[in-house]
Each structure stands twice: as structure tokens, then as C-alpha cells.
């Protein structure tokens, strides 16, 4: 298995982190995902290899006429190395399941990613198709509009499994109906520091939304990064679900901004001190675990948002999150890294980026 | 009470920190102190004001013919402000008792310091006279030689309280005999990090030595700085006591150096990381308590000793210890400071010194 050439990916698969879009210092990205299956075929986990490969073939054929996907790159996950699969997962391009990151769920034959600059399809994940649009910033509506076009295009060539009463059929019953998950990746350090986050998260759940960590389902919240998404997919239209998410997230952004104002007003120098210490640690530490790096980078992101620290772009902050992950570090080094080697390389990488971007701060 | 003009002090009272002398990166300073009292006069705590002033007058007269003291400055502690008294104490020139730092023991009328570049006398401290020689680095023998000359000079003019059997009489029985305390201020982070310090300190006690914190009796150990001194003053000659201290401290220095080698060998990158983080915090923190500053400066001192961090002289490290104390910060600012104002000013001062001395480190 040869090493993945990331330059072949459209935008290096990093377009969703380019810091464009509304409120991109707080909302890193917005994602719409549609779960679709082909009528008359077993779900991937139950299908035989030959059937999964037939599904992949049909999807490849179908996307040729879909504008947003026709120039896409096709990556067979079962044909790249574990490190490269982890790398794609770290870049938020494929799910844990498709990448076969867990030993319990090894990569599935026929598992593939079709990736263009504006949309992607995971093939033979839990469902036959996971259509996705991932955008930088608070851009759920734009991502949804793109998804609708992709879904129509693919659906015009492939017979989706659809039930008059239930809607789109999916491998997991929680996705039945619209098959849609709309989500934003949002940074809420202000609400965490003012300890209001608990109330905000409880409020989300009452409004039919849920939250997860950086890597979606089952992942811990780290660095004050939350993925907020719709909980239900049934009984409402896709437009309603997206509009609802957007309204609620807009409110969360306002509360985060308010929390930051309160922090500066009531505890200005304590916050300044805390954030500058985070910066000092990132500038000089010789070893950083991933969780530590995320937490200090969260502080740095807040410091940039509060204009305490200048000279750092939101794009650089976004890149730091992605490139300080283990598979990215290993890819840059051109060799496998143990966790503790990764901690040393991570610290060196972060030091380098910060020294290059901001030089010496008083 | 006017503010103290520090430029009038010989060497600013900082000569003992100029980083000269043997092993000055580990042993900051060496001190010999002799307790002496005048025959036929009540000890200062029991004397009336007039008697204390008479003692002061006699001492001033006597030191005029003592070479090491004849050019000394006379500072009446009861005539300077509390902040300036604290400042002199922070500079290790006067004891807590003489400075009247504690509210329980206010400054005593007639309390004075006679200070020259090589020796000093505290007058009307616990004893009528506390002759002192404070030297940079591991220089206990030189300090002792200077003290002997001063003691002879003063003793030739003043009738010391002396008992054939017990030796010099002092206010506190623990000082009776030679009246001498020989001590070194030593930095032992290696032994603390390897957790050998407990054994070393227990060993000191078995050998008739004792240890205290930065500020002598009753002060906590902070920043891994220890004052090691002789416990007993009775039954041995002064030379024996000094030689014994020097021998034992030489052994402690060797153990400290060995501990540093072991740390680098067995936990090199953990130590590097820890020390660079301390440096990063000092470079960027916006608020530093005194204890925090001492602990991080201890890390920085070790990092310089291990040659991990360059561009910083031992003299700068010594100055940082002294000038980051509250009264020194207040003196530099020209105003009184509360503890929390002091924390902000301290952090700014430390940032400034480090930015000036080392610039930007990779």
C-alpha cells in the first residue's frame, strides 16, 4: 500500500477549514450528511464483498453526471494504509467506521470515498451512500443547498430505498426518515469558562438537538469544541431541520459572545493571564499530548478572538487543530510514530508554526 | 519618612548576588554571622530606648577604626518606611526582626544597619551586634576570614559579653558559644526532582547542620532554595564549624550535580519539557504570585545550569529572585502595591527582563 498523495485531494481536503463563511472564528465548519441506500441491496455490514463492490461500481457510474461530484477523486479505503485512513479521518473526510480505525471494525472491502471540492460520498459506510457537504464557517444553508442538488443528481440515476410512510430507509433506525444529519463544529470556551455550558447543552437537547466531541459519535469533548447536530430525522422536512439548527446555533453563538464579554469585564486579567500562559506553553513545550494541545489551542483561539494575541489567522488556528493529530504528524515526518514520539513531534510542529506566524511577543 | 535611596548602599547591597565565587549557579551566596553583646548592657528586647541608643552610638564609634566597616553607611531602621524596611529584608541585608516586618514585632528604636561592601552590622537586633559577611557563591571561608578581622576590630574597642566556660553570651541560648552561624543559600532542584532531597536533608541534621527557606528561620522552602547552616555553636571552634559546613555542602553540591546528570539521562525530554514550559509561563504570564515566580525561576535556573536555555546570566537569575519581591516591585513602581497588583507588576517585570535578555527562542 503506497502512501497517500494528499495533493491529489481537491483543496487537500482542507477547503472546509479555510476560515471562510460566517462567524468562522467560532463556528469552524458546517456539515450536511444524507444517508441513502440502494433498493434491493443488503446494507453494507450484511452484504457480501461482491455486492458491496457492485454498489461501489453503481455509485461511481452515477456520480459521473452529478456536477458537484463528476470531477471527484475516488479513494478505495481498503487500498490505503491504516495511517492514511486515520489521516483521512483526522481531516474529517471519512468516519471512523469507513476508515476502519477501530480494531473491532476493520476497514470493509468496497469502502470508498468520492471527494470533490464541494461535496463527497462515503460508499459502503453503515449505509450504501453517505452524501456529504462540509463547509467552512457557519454555512449550513449553503451546505444544504449543495446537498439537495447532489441528492437529486444521484437519486435520478440510482433507485433509493424509500418507504412511503417512513421515508428513506437506513441501516440504523435513528436515521430513518430524512436520513439527514445537519451539524456545526463550534468552539465554546466562553461558555465553558463561565460554567454556563451545562445549561446551554441541556437546552439543546430540549430543542431536539444533540452534541458530540470533535470526532462525532462517541468522541469526548476536548478543547471546548462541540459538534451540535439534529437529534431527530423523522417527522419534519429537511428544510425545517436545517432552519431549526441554524436558529438555535445562532442563539448559541450570541451566548458565547456574551460570555466572552462578561469574562473580559469581570475577570479580564485572570483570563488574559490564563490565555497567555496557554500561548507560552504552546510556544515552548517540548512534548504535548493531543488533549493538551487541543486545550491550549482552544485558549489560543479564544485569545485571538478577544484580540489579545495578534498575528495569527483563523486559518492557521484551524490547520493547527488538524495537523497536530498523530497521523498528520506521521505523514509529515514520513514515518510511523508512537504516541510519545508523536507528543515530541507535535510540540515541535506547534512551536514552529507559532514562531513563524507571530515571532516574538512581549 | 522619605523613600530609601538605594544608590547610596554600597553595590546597592547586591554585591553578594553578583554571581562571582565558586559554583555560583548552585550556591547563590555564603554568609557568616557572629552574635555579640556588650558587657553590662541589657539585651535589646529588654533594654530601654536610651540604652539601645547608647549601644548604637558605641558601635558607630567602634566601627570607625575597623577597615571593612569604616566606610559603611548607617541606616536607622526606625527612620525608614515599612516598605523600605521590607525592601532591605528582601535584599537579605536585614533580618525580619530588625526590619520589624511582622506586626507582632514592630521595628525597635535604635535598630540600625551598618553596611559596607564586604561586611555589615545589625545593631539592636536580638543581640546588640550581629556582625555579618555575605558573599556571592560558595565562599564561606572567605566570608569567615573577613568576619574574623571585623570581629577583632570591633572587639578591640567594645567589651564583649563573654564567659570563660560558655563563650560569647547571647540573647538566645542556641547562639551561646561561638555565636556563629555559617550558612549557604543553595539551589537544589535536581535533588527535589529525583526525590532524594528528603534523605539529603535528614543527613544534614545527623551531621549537626540544619536547613531553612529563602528567608531564614521560620520561612518555607520555595523554589527549591535552601539555606543550610550549622545547628550547634557550642563545643567546637569557629574554624571547625566553617570547615565542617564547607565539607558537607561540597558533598551536597556533588549530589545535586549527580541528580541533574541522572535526570537528563533517564528523563531528558520530560525535564526539558518541564523547564521550557516554566520558561514559556515566565515569558508570557500576566500575573505571577511570588511562590509561582520562585518555582518557575527555579526551573529557569536549572535550565540555564543544564545549558538548555542560553543567553541568561546567573547574575540576571539572581536579580530576578530579588527584584520580583513585593517591596522591590513597589520601589520600582514608586507606589505601594497590593498583593494582586504586585502579581501583575511582577509578571510584567519578569517578561521584560526575559524578553530583553534572550529575545525570541525557538
Q: Which of B277, B282, B347 is opposite residue A285, by nearest beta carbon?
A: B277
Query: Please, are residues A131 and A150 in contact by the beta-carbon 8 Å criterion?
Result: yes
Asked if the Cβ–Cβ distance from B281 to A280 is below 8 Å, we say yes
If you count residue pairs, one on A and one on B, with CB atoms under 8 Å apart, how many are there?
64
| Position A220 confidence tier, pLDDT thresholds 50, 70, 90 | confident
Cell 421515508 identifies what position? A167
Q: What is the CA radius of gyration of chain B?
A: 21
Residue pair A108/A52 in contact (Cβ under 8 Å)? The answer is: yes
End-to-end CA distance of chain B: 48
| Model pLDDT, residue B236 | 85
**Smallest CA–CA distance from A288 into chain B, residue:** B273
For residue A303 the three cell numbers come to: 485569545
Contacts of B357 in chain A (CB under 8 A): none
Question: pLDDT confidence of A216, banded at 50, 70, 90?
Answer: low
Measured distance CA(A234)–CA(A238) in Å, rounded:
9
* Over residues A171-183, mean pLDDT: 90
pLDDT tens sequence across A246-279: 999 999 999 999 999 999 999 888 999 999 999 9
Determine what percent of chain A falls in helix, strand and coil, rounding each to the nearest 5: 50, 15, 35
Distance, in angstroms, between A5 CA and closest chain B CA?
A: 30
Closest residue in B to A278 (Cα) is: B281
Q: Cell 539572581 sits at which residue?
A: B318
| C-beta atoms of A269 and B280 within 8 A | no
| Cell (9 digits) for B235 | 563545643
**What pLDDT shows up at residue A168?**
92
B280 and A276: CB-CB below 8 Å?
Answer: no
Q: Residue A280: which of B270, B273, B284 has the nearest Cβ?
A: B284
Q: How far is CA A75 from CA A44, A122, A125, B165, B225, in A?
A: 17, 10, 13, 96, 61
Q: Are β-strands A112-115 and A27-36 bridged in parallel, bridged antiparallel, or unpaired? A: unpaired
The closest alpha carbon to B25, from B225, B240, B216, B207, belongs to B225
- pLDDT higher than threshold 80 for residue A14: no
At residue A1, the pLDDT reads: 39
**pLDDT for res B268:** 87
Mark out chain A residues that contact chain B at CB-CB < 8 A. 269-270, 272-273, 276-277, 279-287, 344, 347, 351-352, 355, 359-362
Whether pLDDT at B1 is above 50: no
pLDDT in tens, B155-191: 999 999 999 988 899 998 888 889 999 999 999 999 9
Round to whole Å and give the CA distance between A24 and A185: 10
Residue-wise pLDDT tens digits, B59-75: 999 999 898 898 889 99
Instruction: Decide if A170 contacts A156 (C-beta within 8 A).
Output: no
- Across the interface, of A281, A287, A359, the residue whose CB is closest to B281 is A281
The whole-number pLDDT of residue A141 equals 95
Q: Residue A8: what pLDDT?
A: 67
pLDDT tier, A218 (very low <50, low <70, confident <90, very high otherwise): low
pLDDT at residue B173, rounded to an integer: 86
List, for residues A66-80, the tens digit of each pLDDT value. Answer: 988 988 899 999 998
pLDDT confidence of residue B286: 97
Cβ distance of B280 and A283 shorter than 8 Å: yes
Band (pLDDT 50/70/90 cuts) for residue B3 is low
* Residue A48 pLDDT grade (very low, low, confident, very high; cuts 50, 70, 90): very high
Q: Which of B269, B272, B284, B296 to mutate to test the interface with A (most CBs of A within 10 A)?
A: B284
Q: Considering only CB atoms, which chain A residues are within 8 Å of B359?
A: 360
CB contact under 8 A, B273 and A280: no
Are the C-beta atoms of residues A150 and A133 closer than 8 Å to each other?
Answer: yes
A285 CB neighbours in chain B (<8 A) are 273, 276-277, 280
- Chain B hits for A282, CB-CB cut-off 8 Å, are 280
CB B31 within 8 A of CB B143: yes
User: Which of B273, B287, B360 shows the shortest C-beta gap to A286?
Assistant: B273
Q: Smallest CA–CA separation between B353 and chain A, in Å?
A: 10
Measured CB to CB, residues of chain B less than 8 Å from chain A are 269-270, 272-273, 276-277, 279-287, 344, 347, 351-352, 355, 359-362
- Render pLDDT for B139-153 as a digit per residue (tens, 0 to 9): 999 999 999 999 999
d(CA B298, CA B317): 9
Under an 8 A CB cutoff, do B361 and A284 touch? yes
Which of A274, A275, A277, A295 should be substituted to probe chain B, the one whose Cβ sees the most B Cβ atoms within 10 Å? Answer: A277
| Average pLDDT in chain B | 90
**In chain A, % of residues over pLDDT 90:** 69
Q: Residue A92: what pLDDT?
A: 87
Beta strands in chain A (DSSP E): 27-36, 73-76, 112-115, 120-123, 129-136, 162-163, 167-168, 180-187, 209-212, 225-230
User: Cβ of A284 and B344 within 8 Å?
Assistant: no
From chain B, the residues in CB contact with A355 under 8 A are 360, 362
**8 Å CB contact of B281 and A277:** yes
Q: Return the percent helix, strand and coil in chain B, to nearest 5.
A: 50, 15, 35
Closest by Cβ to B284, choosing from A270, A276, A344: A276
Nearest chain A residue to B344 by CA distance is A269
**Residues 6 or more apart in contact with residue B189 via CB below 8 angstroms:** B224, B298, B299, B301, B302
Q: Which residues contact B173 (CB under 8 A, 6 or more apart)?
A: none
Q: Average pLDDT of B188-195?
A: 95
Query: From the CA of B330, how many Å to the nearest CA of chain A?
Result: 19
Mean pLDDT of B211-215: 82
List of residues 6+ apart from A69 with CB closer than 8 A: A63, A114, A116, A119, A120, A121, A150, A153, A154
- What does the pLDDT read at residue A2? 44
How close B342 comes to chain A (CA, Å)?
13
Question: Given the DSSP bridges, would you call strands A112-115 and A120-123 parallel, antiparallel or unpaired?
Answer: antiparallel
Q: Which residues of A touch B284 (CB under 8 A)?
A: 276-277, 279-280, 283, 361
Dist. CA A286–CA A351, nearest whole Å: 9
Q: pLDDT category, A83, cuts 50, 70, 90?
A: confident
Question: Angle at the Cα of B309 (from B357 to A271), degrees rounded to 5?
Answer: 70
Tell whether the model's pLDDT for residue B2 goes beyond 50: no
Q: Give the pLDDT of residue B340.
A: 94
- Say what the pLDDT of residue B47 is: 92
pLDDT value at position B213?
85
| ipTM for the whole complex | 0.85
**Beta pairing class for B120-123 and B112-115:** antiparallel
Percentage of residues in chain B having pLDDT higher than 90: 69
Distance in Å, alpha carbon of B271 to nearest chain A alpha carbon:
9
Q: How far is CA A247 from CA A82, A186, A191, A232, B12, in A?
A: 39, 14, 18, 16, 66
Query: In whole angstroms, what separates CA A101 from the centre of its chain?
Result: 16
* pLDDT mean over A269-293: 95
Of A105-109, A216-220, B286-290, the poorest mean pLDDT is in A216-220
Amino acid at each position: 500500500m503506497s502512501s497517500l498523495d494528499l495533493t491529489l485531494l481537491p483543496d487537500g481536503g482542507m477547503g472546509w477549514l479555510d476560515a471562510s463563511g460566517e462567524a468562522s472564528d467560532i463556528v469552524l465548519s458546517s456539515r450536511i450528511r444524507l444517508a441513502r441506500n440502494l433498493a434491493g441491496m443488503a446494507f453494507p455490514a450484511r452484504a457480501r464483498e461482491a455486492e458491496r463492490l457492485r454498489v461501489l461500481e453503481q455509485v461511481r457510474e452515477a456520480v459521473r453526471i452529478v456536477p458537484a461530484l463528476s470531477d471527484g477523486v475516488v479513494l478505495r479505503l481498503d487500498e490505503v494504509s491504516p495511517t492514511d485512513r486515520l489521516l483521512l479521518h483526522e481531516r474529517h473526510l471519512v468516519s471512523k467506521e469507513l476508515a476502519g480505525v477501530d480494531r473491532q471494525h476493520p476497514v470493509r472491502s468496497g469502502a470508498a470515498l468520492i471527494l470533490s471540492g464541494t461535496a463527497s460520498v462515503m460508499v459502503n459506510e453503515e449505509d450504501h451512500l453517505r452524501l456529504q457537504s462540509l463547509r467552512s464557517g457557519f454555512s449550513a444553508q449553503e451546505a444544504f443547498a449543495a446537498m439537495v442538488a447532489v441528492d437529486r443528481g444521484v437519486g435520478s440515476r440510482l433507485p433509493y430505498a424509500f418507504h412511503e410512510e417512513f421515508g428513506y430507509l437506513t441501516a440504523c433506525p435513528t436515521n430513518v426518515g430524512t436520513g439527514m444529519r445537519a451539524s456545526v463544529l463550534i468552539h465554546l470556551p466562553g461558555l465553558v469558562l463561565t460554567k454556563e455550558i451545562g445549561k446551554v447543552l441541556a437546552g439543546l437537547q430540549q430543542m431536539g438537538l444533540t452534541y458530540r466531541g470533535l470526532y462525532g459519535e462517541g468522541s469526548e469533548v476536548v478543547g471546548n469544541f462541540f459538534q451540535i447536530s439534529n437529534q431527530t430525522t423523522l417527522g419534519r422536512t429537511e428544510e425545517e431541520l436545517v432552519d431549526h439548527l441554524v436558529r438555535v446555533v445562532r442563539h448559541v453563538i450570541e451566548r458565547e459572545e456574551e460570555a466572552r464579554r462578561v469574562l473580559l469585564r469581570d475577570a479580564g486579567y485572570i483570563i488574559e493571564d490564563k490565555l497567555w500562559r496557554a500561548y507560552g506553553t504552546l510556544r515552548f513545550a517540548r512534548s504535548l499530548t493531543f488533549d493538551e494541545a487541543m486545550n491550549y489551542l482552544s485558549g489560543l483561539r479564544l485569545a485571538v478572538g478577544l484580540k489579545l494575541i495578534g498575528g495569527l489567522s483563523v486559518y492557521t488556528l484551524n490547520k493547527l487543530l488538524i495537523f497536530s493529530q498523530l497521523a498528520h504528524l506521521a505523514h509529515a515526518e514520513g514515518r510511523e510514530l508512537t504516541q510519545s514520539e508523536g507528543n515530541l513531534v507535535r510540540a515541535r510542529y506547534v512551536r514552529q508554526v507559532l514562531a513563524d506566524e507571530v515571532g516574538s511577543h512581549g
